[in-house]
Amino acid sequence: VFRTTDTAHPGVQKVMEQKEINLAGPVKVWSEGSFPKDYPGVYMRPEETRRIFEQKGWSTVAALQLRNPMHRSHEYLAKIAVEVCDGVFIHSLVGNLKPGDIPAEWRVKCIDVLVKNYFIEDKVLQGGYPLDMRYAGPKEAVHHSIIRTNLGLTHHMFGRDHAGVGTYYESYEAHRLLMSIPRDKLFITPIFVLEWVYCPHCGEVTCIGLCGHWKEHQKFSGTKIRSILIDEVKPTRLIFRPEIFDIVMDAAKKYGFGSPFVGPEYLAKAKPAFSIEPL
């Protein structure tokens, strides 16, 4: 699945930390854990999303997955989806993440503010689903396609290094794998998007396929975004909407973890969403 046995890979590390005994067999009962209570109005079951899409009159709906605070590059991706489909479903992970990612409850607030202030609300819907990131890159992209198909989505946005981490996968490896799968086997239409960058020469956020000032491009890398937030240097509106930056900073100060990202303190306090009572 991961194509590596390197324990520095968060997915490999999680597998290696599992206990010696694993259970398998038919699933009789599946607990939804604390998700419905923790994320009211955001955590939705497949029958709910399908009903909402039908009520909105959306015959085509694109999924946009996020696990980082929504910056302007993500905003452009969402607006591309609105141009292509009747609506866009911004679908966040609300399961466990790796150290360095931003906790789900804060991302939900960021997306909510962005949708209310910078989109036509009837064209955008936010949702969350209880999946832990595996960081398995291309194969996880296929997994995400299956999940979104079950939810009733017809299209899926795939940008650079979808579900990747570090340098384990090539930038557009997920694109190539998805293109190799026949449409009658995948059941969802991928929307492949090249990397979005900030170009100082153009003075705007643009796609690498549209702007030739490659030497001047400033990438929206996770490392750069984290450094902006941790240093508390308020970025230009071309990088982050000010409302988003303020929410993340307020959350960091409120929870007192020293930074707005998942760290040892957060992980120590976090309770598992699913648990099995002892026999």
CATH code, domain with 96: 3.40.50.620
Q: Determine, yes or no, domain membership for 43.
A: yes
Q: Determine, yes or no, domain membership for 28.
A: no
Cβ atoms of residues 128 and 92 within 8 Å: yes
Provide CB contacts within 8 A for 62, sequence distance 6+: 81, 84, 85, 87, 88, 89, 153, 154, 155, 156, 157, 191
* Catalytic option among 3, 45, 51, 67: 67
Q: Determine, yes or no, domain membership for 216.
A: no
Q: Determine, yes or no, domain membership for 149.
A: yes
Cβ atoms of residues 205 and 238 within 8 Å: yes
Separation between Cα atoms, residue 63 and residue 127, nearest integer Å: 10
Q: Determine, yes or no, domain membership for 232.
A: no
Task: Determine the 3-state secondary structure of 66 from DSSP.
Answer: strand
| The pLDDT of residue 33 | 79
Kindly report the pTM of this predicted structure: 0.86
Q: Determine, yes or no, domain membership for 248.
A: no
| The pLDDT of residue 271 | 53
Active-site residue 150, yes or no? no
- For residue 100, give the DSSP letter: T
User: Per the structure, how many domains does the chain have?
Assistant: 1
| The pLDDT of residue 29 | 61
* Catalytic option among 22, 50, 51, 68: 68
In degrees and rounded to multiples of 5, residue 229 shows phi and psi of: -75, -45
| The pLDDT of residue 273 | 46
| The pLDDT of residue 275 | 47
Task: Give the Cβ contact number of residue 28 at 10 Å.
Answer: 5
Structure tokens at 203: 């003075």
Q: Which domain holds residue 133?
A: 34-194
Task: Determine the 3-state secondary structure of 12 from DSSP.
Answer: helix
Structure tokens at 251: 């959350």
E-assigned strands of 130-278? 155-158, 189-192, 196-199, 204-207, 218-219
E-assigned strands of 124-273? 124-129, 155-158, 189-192, 196-199, 204-207, 218-219
Q: pLDDT truncated to tens, each residue of the chain (279 aa)? A: 898 999 999 888 888 888 888 888 887 766 787 888 888 889 999 999 999 999 999 999 999 998 777 888 888 889 989 999 999 999 988 877 766 677 788 889 999 999 999 998 899 999 998 888 888 999 999 999 999 999 999 999 999 988 888 899 999 999 999 999 998 899 999 999 998 888 999 988 888 989 999 999 988 776 666 677 677 777 778 888 989 888 878 877 765 555 556 666 666 665 554 444 444
| The pLDDT of residue 276 | 46
Q: Determine, yes or no, domain membership for 219.
A: no
| The pLDDT of residue 248 | 79
Q: Determine, yes or no, domain membership for 91.
A: yes
